[in-house]
Amino acid sequence: MIRNPIDVSSRVSSRLSALLSSRVNDPECEQPVSLIAVRRFLADLLPDDFNEAERLHHFDVDISILDELDVLVEEFGGSALAIDFVQASASESLSRAIEAVVGDENRENPPTLSTVRDAILAGLGARMVGDGDLEDDEDDTLLTEIDALIEQFGEDTLAEELLRYE
């Protein structure tokens, strides 16, 4: 299969991105996961009599996830890889941690995901909670999230590339 040369993930809602990511990362899914495979999975979850109004209310979005997926299938084809449509970004709390490492005046080189992981292990999250930059519960997820990003993109990926700006 050919990977899409453009960043199509920027055209995908965060809810659809999360669904695509869950299917791509499901060890029970046949790999590689295509858009049409995700569409079949989603359609199987919905009851046959699930009408458009109910679907819109259920997902609480302007356009249903199924309709959004149909647009992608129509434009890119059902065999397009779902991973190409997954948004790659850090959560808001991890983005704040990355910004804290980026803003470190003693740093000579732009931080990688590995550098941010090392800072988290050295107590960055606890310091940020103490400074009021993170809530207590946000500190708990930083290491898990950075490890998942390292697994997906590699430890030498520049951390700034995954910042989420909202």
Instruction: Give first-to-last CA distance, the chain, whole Å.
Output: 33
- The count of other CB atoms within 10 Å of the CB of residue 57 is 10
In a domain, 2, yes or no: no
For residues 87 and 100, the answer to whether their CB atoms sit within 8 Å is no
In a domain, 134, yes or no: yes
Average pLDDT score, the chain: 80
SS3 21: helix
d(CA 51, CA 151): 39
In a domain, 122, yes or no: yes
Summarize pLDDT for 64-87 with one digit per residue, the tens.
788 889 999 999 999 998 888 887
Summarize pLDDT for 8-48 with one digit per residue, the tens.
776 787 778 778 887 887 888 888 899 999 988 887 776 65
d(CA 16, CA 47): 19
Mean pLDDT score, 99-124: 92
97 and 79 inside one domain: no
* Cα 136 versus chain centre, distance: 22
